[in-house]
Chain A
C-alpha cells in the first residue's frame, strides 16, 4: 500500500546500505521473474496485460458485452427443458431436498413469529432462497468447508444440524454450541464443517480463500471451500480482496453469491452498475464463472457439482451467482413493504418460489403426496414448537463463561476481572438474573 514500497531506500535506516540492497537485487535469479514476455508484432509487450494493439480509439462500454446467461434446468411449472441436463437424482435424494426445504421454511415461519412475540431477540428467515441452500449443499461433500453470511441455514439443515441445535442457538442457552455469545442465527458447527457465522459482512470471504489455500497444500487434498455471501456484501472491500486473492493464489474455493435483489432496503441497481456479481468474475478477476436460477434446485445442484469438480481439478476458484428473490423481510427488525410493493413479493412467493417449483416436478414424477406433505409440515411444526418450549426453559450458561475463550487460556487480568465480578454479584445477588443461569 505504501507508495514508497518500491523505493523504500529513501528511508534513513535503509538508505545507509543502499548499495548492498542493489547487490541483493542482483542476486535474485531471473527465473524468479515471471513477468517477462515474448515480443510480438500485434501484441503489446507490457507486463500488465496481454492484448493486441488497435489503431482506432474506442471506448469499451458495458453494453458491448452480452450479460452472462442464467442457467436453468427446470421451468416454473417443474418441467425439465433439456433432458441432458436432468441430474437424474433418485427419489430419495429429491425427497430429502424437498423435505429439507420444507423444514427450513416451516422452522423459519415459527421462529419469525416467536421473535414477534418477544420470545427470541432476533431472527432472519430464508424465504425464497431455500433452493440455493439445499441445491448447493447437496452437491458438496461433508469434508468441504463452509463459510457463510447468515442466510444459509439450509446448508446446515442438509448437513444434519438438528432443530434443537438451531433453536438452542437462538436462545443462547446452555446447549448452544456457541455458548450464548452471539445473536440468534449466528450458527456454527465444527462437526458439520460449517464455520461460525459473524455479523460483519464479507469478512468471511478472504478467510474462505485462505482456508482453501491451506487445504490445497495438504497432501491428496480432496476438499474444497464454499463461501456464501449476498450481492450487497459483494460491494465490501473484502469481496474484492477475496476474488483477487483466490485468482492470483490459485485457491479451490467456490465464491457463492446469493443475489436476491436487496441488501436490506437497497435494491441491486443501487448496489452496482455492472452485470451482477457474475460479471466481475471472468474479465474482472480472471475467474471461471457460473450464473444460475437460484429458485431451481436442480440448476444449483448441477452447477455446484461442476464447480466443485473444477476447483479441485484445477486448484482455481469459481464465482457462482445464484439469482433469487428475498421473499421475506431482511430481518425481524425490518418491514420490507416500506421499500417494495407487496404484489412483487407475491409473485416470488407463489409461482416463482423454489419450493413450489420442486413440488411441481415431484407431481409430474408421481412422487408427490399431498397428505404426506401436510403431515410432514405438521410434524415439523410440532417439533419446532415443542423445542421452543424446551429451549426457552433451559438455563443460560454460567455467567463466568463470559470470560472464557477470549484467549486459549485465561490470562491473569481476566481471571482478576472474573473474581471482581464474582465478589460484586455475591454482594448484589438480587440485582442480577442469576436464576436463569447455570451455577
Chain B
C-alpha cells in the first residue's frame, strides 16, 4: 500500500508541476468534480489506486494486457507488478482476441480478470470474444457458466492528434450487445468508482477511459475503497430550458457550453453525464427531457448509429408530448477520425452552442 501511495503522491506532485505548453490544443476545459475530501490525483493515478485496491481486497484478481507489467503505456498499472507479483500483474502476448478469450477463461473459474486493451481502436480483434462469447456466456448455458468477474479497461476518445487508430469511441458497437455493461467515466473520482464497481459487478463490463483525461483531469479522489452506481446518470448542472447529454470528455465540453449559453443567451442548460451506455438510465434522461422539452445529445463518435441515435429515438418515443423541438445530435462526422482535421471533426463547444441557438429557433 505504502509504495503505491508514494507513487501516487509522486505522480500527483509531478502533474502539478506541469505547465501547459503552447503546443497543447485541447478542445475542452476540465470541470473537476468536488467532494471536498481525498488526495489530488489525475485520472491515471485514480485508476492505479482503484486497481491497487481491487488487487488487495480480492486475492483472485489478475491484471493483464499488452505492456501492463512495467506500468502500462498510460501508467495506469505502475508499481502493481512489484507489489502483487508477476503472477498476478503480467504482460500478455500482443493479441487482443487472446487477451479477451484468456480473460473469459479466468472469469469462468470464478477468479477476477481485469484485462486491458491498449487502445479502444484495437478492441475489434476481440469483438468476437466479447460479443459472441463474454456477453452470451450466462445466457446460453442457462446460468451453468458465466464470466461475470471480467472487466475490460479500454482507453478511448480523441487526444489531439491520435488520428484514425488512437482516437476512436466504439461504445455504440458494444451497446448493441445484450449481456454487456458499458461505462465511460468523466474524471478521476468517477473512473475509480466505476472501475471498482465493474470489477465487482457479476456481469462482463467494459470501461472506456477517455485517454485525454489521464493527465489532464485532476480531482481530489478519496483513497478508500468506494464504488459508483452502474446504470445511473449524473446530473451535473440543473437547468430548465434544455437538456444536454454527453459522456466522457464531451461532458466537459457541454459544461462549458452551458456556461456560455447562460452568459450570452440566458439559456438554462441541464447537463447530464450519461455515465453508463448499457444498460443506460432511461429515468434520468426522460425526467429531464420532459422538464426542459428540448434535448441535445453530443458524442465524439460518428453520427450514424452512434449511441445518440438510441437516446434520441427513445426520448422521442417516451417524451413525445413534452418535446418543443426535435431531439438534436451533435457528433463526430460520418468519416474515419482524421489527423490534421481533428479541430473540424470534433463536436466542440462552438458546434454545441450553435445547436442550442438552433433548437431555440426551431
Question: A interface vs B, CB < 8 Å?
Answer: 1-2, 4-5, 8, 11-17, 20-21, 24, 28, 32, 145, 147, 176-179, 181-182, 186, 188-190, 195-196, 198, 200, 203, 205-215, 217, 237-238, 240-242, 244-245, 248-249, 404-409, 411-414
Closest to A11 in B: B159
- Are B119 and A210 in touch, CB under 8 angstroms? no
Q: How far is the CA of A352 from the CA of B107 in the complex (A)?
A: 41
Q: Which B residues lie within 8 Å of A147 (CB)?
A: 105
- Are A1 and B92 in touch, CB under 8 angstroms? no
Give the A-B pair count, Cβ closer than 8 A: 218
Closest to B15 in A: A17
- Are A190 and B145 in touch, CB under 8 angstroms? yes
- Are A203 and B98 in touch, CB under 8 angstroms? no
- Are B145 and A240 in touch, CB under 8 angstroms? no
Q: How far is the CA of A5 from the CA of B119 in the complex (A)?
A: 9
Q: Which B residues lie within 8 Å of A412 (CB)?
A: 279, 282
Q: Which B residues lie within 8 Å of A405 (CB)?
A: 138-139, 142-143
- Are A217 and B215 in touch, CB under 8 angstroms? no
- Are B178 and A406 in touch, CB under 8 angstroms? yes
Q: Which A residues lie within 8 Å of B81 (CB)?
A: 32
Per-position contact with A for B149-161: 1 when CB-CB < 8 Å, else 0? 0000000000111
Closest to B79 in A: A27
Of B20, B100, B141, B282, which contacts A16 at CB under 8 A? Answer: B20
Q: How far is the CA of A242 from the CA of B101 in the complex (A)?
A: 8
Closest to A237 in B: B97
Size of chain B's interface in residues, with CB distance under 8 A?
Answer: 83
- Are B141 and A188 in touch, CB under 8 angstroms? yes
Smallest CB-CB A-B distances: 8 pairs: A210-B105, A206-B101, A241-B98, A12-B160, A179-B142, A196-B141, A210-B102, A207-B105
CB contact under 8 A between A411 and B97, given known A24-B78, A188-B141 = no
Task: Decide yes or no whether B227 CB sits under 8 A from chain A.
Answer: no
Task: Decide yes or no whether B28 CB sits under 8 A from chain A.
Answer: no
Per-position contact with A for B296-316: 1 when CB-CB < 8 Å, else 0? 000000000000000000000
Q: Which B residues lie within 8 Å of A1 (CB)?
A: 66, 94-96, 118-119, 122, 125
Q: How far is the CA of A17 from the CA of B105 in the complex (A)?
A: 37
CB contact under 8 A between A214 and B60, given known A209-B105, A405-B139 = yes
Q: How far is the CA of A147 from the CA of B145 in the complex (A)?
A: 12
B233 to chain A, nearest CB (A): 13
A9 to chain B, nearest CB (A): 9
- Are A12 and B95 in touch, CB under 8 angstroms? no
Task: Identify the stretch in B108-116, B182-190, B287-295 within 8 Å (CB) of chain A at 4 or more residues.
Answer: B108-116
Closest to B230 in A: A411
Of B93, B122, B159, B181, which contacts A13 at CB under 8 A? Answer: B159
A128 to chain B, nearest CB (A): 28
Of B14, B129, B212, which contacts A206 at CB under 8 A? Answer: B129
Task: Decide yes or no whether B208 CB sits under 8 A from chain A.
Answer: no
Closest to A180 in B: B142
- Are A5 and B215 in touch, CB under 8 angstroms? no
Of B20, B140, B159, which contacts A182 at CB under 8 A? Answer: B140
Q: Which B residues lie within 8 Å of A404 (CB)?
A: 143
Of B67, B139, B201, B212, which contacts A406 at CB under 8 A? Answer: B139
CB contact under 8 A between A214 and B109, given known A206-B98, A238-B97, A408-B203 = yes
Closest to A32 in B: B70
Q: How far is the CA of A15 from the CA of B159 in the complex (A)?
A: 11
CB contact under 8 A between A213 and B102, given known A24-B71, A405-B142 = yes
- Are A203 and B73 in touch, CB under 8 angstroms? no
